[in-house]
Amino acid sequence: MQVATGKSVLNGISIGKIKVYKAPKLEIDDSLIDDIEAELARFDDARERAIEQQNALYEKAVIDAGEDSAEVFSVHAMMLEDDDLIDATNEIIKTQKHTAEYAVKVAFDNQAKVFAEMDDPYMKERAADIYDIEHAVLGYLFGISGDILQGTEPCILVANDLTPSETVRLNKSLLLGIITREGSLNSHTAILARSMGIPALVQCKDVNEDWEGKPAIIDGYNSCAYIEPTDDLEKTLRKRKEKDAKQRALLQELKGKSNTTIDGKTIQVYANIGGPSDIGLVQQNDAGGVGLFRSEFVYLNARDYPSEEEQFNAYRLAIETLAPKQVIIRTCDIGADKQVEYMGMEKEENPALGLRAIRICLTRKAFFKTQLRALLRASAYGNLGIMFPMIISMRELRECKELLAECAEELKKQGVKIGKYAVGIMIETPAAVLIADELAEECDFFSIGTNDLTQYTLAIDRQNAALDPFLAKHHPAVLRQIKMTIDAGHRHGTWVGICGELGADLALTETFLRMGVDELSVNPVSVLPLRKIIRGIDLRKEPGAGLTDETEAVSTAPTE
């Protein structure tokens, strides 16, 4: 038996035979051509066919993985219409008299290298998008079909890497799991695999072509794969796989039931979403509302500043569909690890401590007011909460509220209907914790962003994997700040929730309930496991004593 390690994209167990995918080798030489016009026409035809392919992949991905995950293919189609990329390719054909294949390889590779050399991790990943569309165009130039990658039998697919296009073309009914030598947890391929519920392992340096046809098991919980596992190990992991399936079925029985502890304390369980395409997951998992609508994805998925109308339509869809449930929308949280090229942000030595979130909004007020107007218009269609991120002072909060009031007055004068809405802030810095009493006087609610609160409290960059050994997610300094925030909010009649990753940490659920938290907002698939834990807690007993055996079993299971 061989044990191969990597990084797990999705918790879960996958068992099956391996199919090794080998990308077709495209032999491109530097031979010259005589008919330039014919070669230009070949490139244009291949590019148009590649655009049609990306649009078709978008439609397939919407069904398999959701609209947000599918958006990459719309971006690919737009990239293939980029004038600079087209001109660069045509210029090589015209002036150097090279084949279309050679011109595409050189021009597209040059563009990919520009992205690959950028410091920002998100922008680095865009190099993979260029290579993806390059392969699509070359595929048509060479007459190669990439529709069948994994054969006709159920398999665990092993590859050096997979582009987003290759991932979506996979037959999901035959795909048991994915193992790749390259890739990252932030790549589009990883996101797609996660969205489709496929256990996958990336950065597995042990990948070997000799694995072809061998039995294997992906253990997503322990970030490894077993090649030719022993009978005993396979038996154990099959039991775990069956247990996971039974657990998911049992959790479905909790739909419609309250989030009430044995001793009668009820807590709200909301969902975190990235956009309107996640609404189905909120409903499917029976969340009580949306505690965090990450509006930055409206910006990240756009090629230019989204208009007021575009934003209004996105916000209205979520608010109207889920009414009367509350939908809390966080205003634009661009910056740090989330960058958009069209905003023209200057490079910063330490972006996590730089111009991000509310700091961008308050220095670009016209940009901010566009979003606030869209939110106010959408408030007429349901139960809206507006949440400002990265607030560290009373001045910032008051300035935000003044701009909000200014927008409301403008809309009223235009005869635009505005509904009722709540106003709150993210508590995600020690500064906000220490002035929480003052902030609470001007807020309807607090939502504690534990990801950034942990980062800023421990002085650890949460994007730096090398610091993982030093990152104590349950650090007492972080937990004490959460308790301080809850107490401060309650002193002023302000309800307090948690929307960071710790909210889904089932080992802390009882701790948070004893602190008095009012709401926990988690990724949609964690809603029912969290409800299960809450319903098994008895706050009248000593800490930890309220957990039943069944609840303990759930609490030890990873929630993704």
Q: Is 90 annotated as a binding residue?
A: no
**How many whole angstroms separate alpha carbon 235 and alpha carbon 229?**
10
Number of helices and strands in the chain (H, E): 21, 16
**How many whole angstroms separate alpha carbon 282 and alpha carbon 271?**
6
Helix or strand or coil: residue 261?
coil
In angstroms, the Cα distances linking 129 to 41, 108, 116, 132, 274 are 24, 10, 11, 5, 21
Helix or strand or coil: residue 293?
strand
The answer to whether the CB of 220 falls within 8 A of the CB of 194 is no
Parallel, antiparallel, or unpaired for β 155-159 and 13-20?
Answer: parallel
**How many whole angstroms separate alpha carbon 184 and alpha carbon 121?**
10
**What is the DSSP annotation of 37-60?**
HHHHHHHHHHHHHHHHHHHHHHHH
Amino acid at 545: A
Return all residues near 302 (Cβ < 8 A) that are at least 6 apart.
310, 340, 342
Joined tokens for residue 232: 């005993």
Q: Which of 188, 204, 407, 443 is catalytic?
A: 188
**How many whole angstroms separate alpha carbon 201 and alpha carbon 71?**
23
CB neighbour class for 460 (10 Å; exposed up to 12, middle 13-18, buried from 19): middle
In angstroms, the Cα distances linking 74 to 51, 67, 77, 174, 277 are 9, 10, 5, 26, 15
Q: Is 451 annotated as a binding residue?
A: yes
The question of whether 76 is a catalytic residue gets the answer: no
Q: Is 294 annotated as a binding residue?
A: yes
Shortest CA distance to 329 belongs to which of 405, 280, 270?
Answer: 270
**How many whole angstroms separate alpha carbon 320 and alpha carbon 302?**
23
Q: Is 531 annotated as a binding residue?
A: no
**How many whole angstroms separate alpha carbon 215 and alpha carbon 155?**
9
Q: Is 444 annotated as a binding residue?
A: no
In angstroms, the Cα distances linking 278 to 14, 98, 143, 531 are 25, 46, 37, 20
> Sheet of 2-5: strands edge to edge?
2-5, 224-227, 215-219, 13-20, 155-159, 175-180, 200-202, 7-8
Q: Is 91 annotated as a binding residue?
A: no
Question: How is residue 464 annotated by DSSP?
Answer: -
Parallel, antiparallel, or unpaired for β 290-294 and 326-330?
Answer: parallel
Return all residues near 214 (Cβ < 8 A) that are at least 6 apart.
17, 18, 227, 228
**Radius of gyration in angstroms for the set of CA atoms belonging to the chain, rounded to a whole number:** 25
Between vectors from CA 360 to CA 359 and to CA 365, what angle results, nearest 5°?
Answer: 105
Q: Which of 361, 400, 407, 499 is catalytic?
A: 499
**How many whole angstroms separate alpha carbon 308 and alpha carbon 313?**
9
The answer to whether the CB of 509 falls within 8 A of the CB of 267 is no
Residue ranges of the annotated binding site for Mg(2+) are 428, 452
Residue ranges of the annotated binding site for phosphoenolpyruvate are 294, 330, 451-452, 462
Residue ranges of the annotated binding site are 294, 330, 428, 451-452, 462
Active site residues: 188, 499
